[in-house]
């Protein structure tokens, strides 16, 4: 009997999890590595940040999902990958060294601060559940502090929110905070006037939702304005001064900002690579690392110049798809489709069915974003719409995409309750207690942290 090939998968997001779900374990011995022991649903991070959903509602234990699909035949190892040695075919984490025959990199992206290194320690981001939860806690803390402030000037200083980036995440979090201002503030914080809370979204291009249609951009703009959100278009942020709570823009103007939420860009999660000399560029960066730190791949998701290494999802920069010569958009649908295709190709190769191996062709099913209750925009292949029906479509698509029946029911109940009551029981300010200083396992040590969680 032919021995099984050892497959190591880095990342339990949309791409990695969909890949292992479709892989035939009769031919492969699989180990999935992720820095968290759960799969999260990034499109709803903004609802965690705005107290619309509990973190547990959009997360699902990876071990349970793998056991449900494959019993005990697949391993999960929690850890943060630090180095990949393609010469000796090993993956290194702070706690172990894993050999592989086939490596699948699906580690996703982290925040891109465009060489403004100071921002990492001073702005709020939403690339992980932990980051969204931190954002939620500090929004609630600011509201509680403002409710007991003695002057209007002090309240205005505490409640000035600036969102950098007018893409889907920026629009959604700005709209969610706008709903708090419009509906929650008068009910639960009567000592605070709506005029004392400001939300501003800053976008460098000439319209919001640049990757969507102009109709969607216009509808999103109108919806944000109806939620009392200020929109600044065609201007970029120059710097943020947390000491003085000021965001300075390139046009010379400035904005008061007690909280800056950064959604302006992403870059691929990076590792240290040990590769043969002829695969490295003169700069020291491997030649297969392209724009935004993404890994260059061929049309079968194989990393250029590396043997038996695949890249999936946001971290992949594919050439060869006629419809997307500059690479695919970093969307969940791309990750899901790539994970499924590569798994099926490897299954076919293991069975000797080489005629069934296919190149990847992205099937663009459209895009959508929500700006609040009854407000959403949807761009499909042949038609576009916005408003209440778009909002229902957005809710349905996201609801069926969440893992776990319990999570689906919990999210649906929360949405229905919030829709009819304009309220939620999730605005609980629970601060974590101090962790003991000794950490013998290294799980919570700085080496074990990812860039997203630091």
Collapsed DSSP state (helix, strand, coil) of residue 284? coil
Q: Please report the beta strands in 5-94, taking only residues with DSSP state E, as ranges in sequence order.
A: 5-10, 28-34, 38-40, 59-61, 75-78, 83-85, 90-92
Average pLDDT, integer, range 92-118: 93
pTM above 0.85, yes or no: yes
Q: What is the pLDDT of residues 324-370, one digit of tens each?
A: 888 899 999 999 999 999 999 999 999 988 889 999 999 998 899 99
CA distance 426 to 215: 34
Asked if the model's pLDDT at residue 425 lies above 70, the reply is: no
Tell me the C-alpha distance between 363 and 231, whole Å. 33
pLDDT band at 281 (very low <50, low <70, confident <90, very high): low
pLDDT of residue 139: 95
Segment 379-408 mean pLDDT? 91
The string of DSSP codes covering 327-360 is ---S-HHHHHHHHHHHHHHHHHHHTT-GGG----
CB neighbour list of residue 367: distance below 8 Å, 6 or more residues apart:
168, 211, 212, 331, 378, 379
DSSP-H helix ranges across 351-454: 388-401, 405-421
Taken in order of first residue, the domains within the chain and their CATH numbers are: 5-35+79-111+268-352 (3.50.50.60), 117-264 (3.50.50.100)
Q: Which pLDDT score is estimated for 314?
A: 95
Segment 135-156, tens digit of pLDDT = 999 999 999 999 999 999 999 9
| φ/ψ of residue 224, rounded to 5 | -65, -40
CA separation for the pair 184, 182 (Å, rounded): 6
Cα–Cα distance measured from residue 31 to residue 69, given in angstroms and rounded to the nearest whole number: 14
pLDDT value at position 372? 87
**Which residues, in sequence order, are CB contacts of 96 under 8 Å at separation 6+?**
77, 79
Average pLDDT (4-9) is: 95
Q: Identify the pLDDT of residue 322.
A: 86
Question: Which SS3 state, helix, strand or coil, does residue 256 take?
Answer: strand
As given in the structure block, the two tokens for residue 109 are 């992206």
């Amino acid at each position: 009997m032919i021995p099984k090939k050892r497959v190591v998968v880095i990342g339990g997001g949309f791409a990695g999890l969909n890949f292992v779900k479709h892989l035939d374990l009769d031919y492969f011995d699989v180990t999935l590595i992720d820095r968290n022991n759960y799969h999260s649903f990034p499109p709803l991070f903004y609802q965690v940040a705005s107290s619309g959903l509990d973190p547990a509602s959009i997360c699902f234990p990876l071990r349970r999902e793998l056991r449900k699909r494959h019993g005990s035949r697949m391993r999960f190892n929690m850890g943060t990958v630090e180095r990949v040695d393609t010469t000796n075919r090993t993956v290194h984490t702070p706690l172990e060294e894993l050999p592989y025959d086939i490596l699948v990199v699906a580690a996703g992206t982290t925040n891109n601060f465009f060489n403004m290194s100071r921002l990492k320690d001073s702005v709020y981001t939403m690339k992980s559940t932990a980051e969204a939860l931190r954002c939620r806690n500090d929004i609630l803390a600011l509201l509680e502090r403002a409710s007991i402030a003695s002057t209007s000037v002090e309240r205005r200083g505490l409640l000035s929110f600036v969102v950098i980036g007018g893409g889907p995440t920026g629009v959604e979090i700005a709209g969610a905070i706008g709903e708090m201002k419009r509906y929650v503030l008068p009910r639960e914080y009567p000592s605070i006037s709506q005029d004392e809370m400001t939300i501003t979204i800053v976008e460098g291009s000439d319209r919001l939702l640049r990757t969507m249609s102009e109709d969607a951009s216009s509808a999103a703009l109108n919806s944000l304005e109806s939620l009392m959100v200020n929109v600044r278009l065609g201007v970029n942020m120059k710097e943020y001064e947390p000491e003085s709570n000021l965001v300075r823009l390139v046009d010379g103007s400035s904005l008061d900002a007690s909280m800056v939420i950064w959604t302006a860009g992403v870059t691929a999660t990076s590792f240290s690579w040990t590769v043969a000399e002829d695969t490295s560029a003169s700069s020291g960066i491997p030649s297969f690392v392209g724009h935004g730190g993404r890994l260059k791949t061929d049309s079968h998701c194989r990393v250029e110049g590396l043997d038996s290494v695949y890249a999936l999802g946001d971290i992949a920069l594919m050439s060869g798809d006629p419809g997307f010569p500059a690479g695919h958009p970093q969307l969940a649908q791309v990750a899901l489709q790539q994970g499924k295709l590569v798994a099926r190709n490897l299954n076919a190769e293991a069975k000797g069915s080489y005629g069934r191996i296919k190149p990847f062709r992205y099937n663009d099913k459209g895009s959508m974003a929500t700006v609040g209750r009854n407000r959403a925009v949807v761009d499909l292949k042949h038609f576009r719409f916005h408003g209440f029906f778009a909002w229902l479509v957005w809710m349905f698509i996201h609801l069926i995409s969440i893992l776990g029946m319990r999570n689906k029911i919990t999210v649906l109940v929360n949405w229905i309750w919030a829709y009819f009551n304009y309220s939620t029981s999730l605005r609980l300010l629970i601060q974590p207690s101090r962790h003991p200083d000794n950490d013998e396992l290294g799980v919570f040590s700085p080496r074990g942290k990812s860039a997203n969680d630091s």
